[in-house]
Chain A
Amino acid sequence: MSRVREGALAVGAPAVVGVAAVVLWQATVTGLGIAAYVVPAPADIATELAANLQVVATAAFGTARNAALGLLVGTVAALVAAGVSAAWRLAADAANPLVTATAVVPIVCLAPVFYTMFGTDAQTARVVVAAIAVFVPVYVNTLRGLRTVAPVHRDLLRAHAATPWQATRHVTLPGALPFFFTGLRVASSLAVISALVAEYFGGPVDGLGKAITSAVASSRYALAWAYVVGAVVTGLVFYAVTTLLERLPDAGGSPSARR
């Protein structure tokens, strides 16, 4: 009974707030007669979205493909690097300044350079930007996970004369999984953001970033916002998929186990 109520509340409360926000937005824009180039009304955005659903979807798919590829490449690279750093302290110390630099520099600022490097007619630059943005959170979190072994587990493995590989396989790796997924969740949003913003700096004419720029340039403000809606949906899909990955029964990372 109370569980049902809690569930209804968990879904209902945000839904009510969301609907109220849209209604308030619509009322404000129509009531005050605000011009479309400032903020278009939600109804106009919805109309544009419905009329151009195919185009928005294609643009979203273009951006999503770059983000997904970047997420994959960045995650694999981060896992390998975290493994090396966990096993070999010197590597971690040597890589530390570079990782810190990467963490504080907005990676998209490198996009123009990458377009020159990889060619402005290829998607490569966008994938590389997304991959680098993904690398940092996955690397940092996974490395922390690999280094976090409870003292009681360390004693237990030593008492049972476990080999270093057994200790890694049975305790260190499963223990690091929740940390890895935390990094991956952060990275999934960063991948979409980076791939999209990278489009603002050049490259082929597809993807949401390019579409938003050109819609604004041709004064189609409601359409620009329709693309923004597409971007929001793309980001949500990435976040939802990585969150679901962690819940897979065999992923081993019971979400409640840590943090």
Chain B
Amino acid sequence: MSAVVATGVGRVFGPAGGAGGTVALSDVDLTVAAGELVSLIGPSGCGKSTLLRLVADLDTPTSGSLTVFGKTPARARADQDYGIAFQQAGLLPWRSVQANVELPLQLHGASRAERAARAAELLALVGLTDFAGHRPDQLSGGMQQRVAIARALARWPRLLLMDEPFGALDEMTRERLQDELLKIRAETGAAVVFVTHSIPEAVYLSDRVVVMTPRPGRVVADLEIALGSPAERAARGIALREDPAFFERVSTVREALHAGEAGLPARDRGAAGAPDRAGR
């Protein structure tokens, strides 16, 4: 079953009915298969974060239909089918690292022993076992973000929603966390919807990159990346980042972005270079 299916989804802010409102998202079709890693990329205001918030049921579409594992987003949220990480780590400053990871489990009635065991597992997964007792403000930005990812994974979600989680980090930390995310994805098998404005990041992480443009926010291209499975990509690491095939995908995404900016649907570009791998 598909993790996410959006059909003609729109979100208009402001006056109900749309007249005079701001169209954040217009007529978006998107399918994310179970276990698939999909990036949403586009300039500010293209509605990529809005789309993610609709999937998470943090906001409601004004048109179209949206399902998460075949359920309404509200149902999927109540069933805790997804985990979520934001640009800000959003850790609770008065809790230890371990207690932060345990929060989702605590909210759903796991026993103290269960919580501690799962937190230990997750902190090992993100390489922070030695920091379980630390307070968030004693951690670097990259470490805080890893704690946030561990927290998002706490309840074994089949879908991980990530809203520019590495956006505030330096380039080195960012690349390291991208590798970790690929490993985590390989281990958990969860589908990932990843919002970013970095083209190399989207290409490196994704099975598919969905290119969006603003005013109104809409999807202009849907590109297969096909650089191997997450596990293979994580294993290749820097070699993959320097592979000509990688650069070729980066150019494809970049051209789709710029074509979208210029108001041309990416598919209509004639001689603009690399082929569109949309296939949808």
Query: In the complex, which residues 27-77 of chain A have their Cβ closer than 8 Å to any Cβ of chain B?
Result: none
Q: How many residues of A contact B (CB 8 A)?
A: 22
Interface string of A87-111 (1 = CB under 8 A from B): 0000000000000000000000000
Considering only CB atoms, which chain B residue lies closest to A258 in the complex? B93
17 contacts between A and B (CB under 8 A): A150-B90, A152-B86, A152-B90, A155-B84, A158-B77, A160-B80, A160-B107, A161-B78, A161-B80, A161-B108, A162-B107, A166-B107, A174-B92, A174-B94, A254-B137, A257-B93, A257-B94
Interface string of B130-168 (1 = CB under 8 A from A): 000001010000000000000000000000000000000
Q: Bound complex: CA of A254 vs CA of B88, how far in Å?
A: 20
Task: Known contacts A160-B104, A160-B107; decide if A252 and B94 are in contact (CB<8 Å).
Answer: yes
B137–A156 CB distance below 8 A? no
Q: Bound complex: CA of A161 vs CA of B78, how far in Å?
A: 6
Q: Bound complex: CA of A161 vs CA of B80, how far in Å?
A: 7
B56–A161 CB distance below 8 A? no
Smallest beta-carbon distance A105→chain B, Å: 36
Q: Bound complex: CA of A163 vs CA of B82, how far in Å?
A: 17
B137–A170 CB distance below 8 A? no
Chain B interfacial positions (CB closer than 8 Å to A): 56-58, 77-78, 80, 82, 84, 86, 88, 90, 92-94, 103-104, 106-108, 135, 137
Considering only CB atoms, which chain B residue lies closest to A251 in the complex? B94
Interface string of A143-158 (1 = CB under 8 A from B): 0000000101101111
A161–B92 CB distance below 8 A? no
Q: Bound complex: CA of A257 vs CA of B88, how far in Å?
A: 16
List the A side residues contacting B94 at CB < 8 Å. Answer: 174-175, 177, 252-254, 257
A256 interface residue, CB < 8 Å from B?
Answer: yes
B58–A159 CB distance below 8 A? yes
B84–A159 CB distance below 8 A? yes
List the B side residues contacting A256 at CB < 8 Å. Answer: 137
A171 interface residue, CB < 8 Å from B?
Answer: yes
A257–B103 CB distance below 8 A? no
Smallest beta-carbon distance B104→chain A, Å: 5
Smallest beta-carbon distance B64→chain A, Å: 21
Considering only CB atoms, which chain A residue lies closest to B148 in the complex? A156
Interface string of A218-259 (1 = CB under 8 A from B): 000000000000000000000000000000000011101100
Known: A155-B58, A161-B107. 10 other contacts (CB 8 A): A155-B86, A156-B86, A156-B90, A160-B104, A160-B108, A161-B77, A170-B92, A175-B94, A254-B93, A257-B94
Smallest beta-carbon distance B112→chain A, Å: 15
Chain A interfacial positions (CB closer than 8 Å to B): 150, 152-153, 155-162, 166, 170-171, 174-175, 177, 252-254, 256-257
Q: Bound complex: CA of A171 vs CA of B92, how far in Å?
A: 7
Q: Bound complex: CA of A174 vs CA of B57, how far in Å?
A: 26
Smallest beta-carbon distance B54→chain A, Å: 13
List the A side residues contacting B135 at CB < 8 Å. Answer: 254
Smallest beta-carbon distance A214→chain B, Å: 49
Q: Bound complex: CA of A33 vs CA of B108, how far in Å?
A: 77
Q: Bound complex: CA of A150 vs CA of B106, how far in Å?
A: 20
B103–A170 CB distance below 8 A? yes
List the B side residues contacting A155 at CB < 8 Å. Answer: 56, 58, 84, 86, 90
List the B side residues contacting A254 at CB < 8 Å. Answer: 93-94, 135, 137
List the B side residues contacting A166 at CB < 8 Å. Answer: 107
Q: Bound complex: CA of A156 vs CA of B77, how far in Å?
A: 11
Smallest beta-carbon distance B204→chain A, Å: 26
Q: Bound complex: CA of A256 vs CA of B94, how far in Å?
A: 11
B90–A153 CB distance below 8 A? yes
List the B side residues contacting A162 at CB < 8 Å. Answer: 107
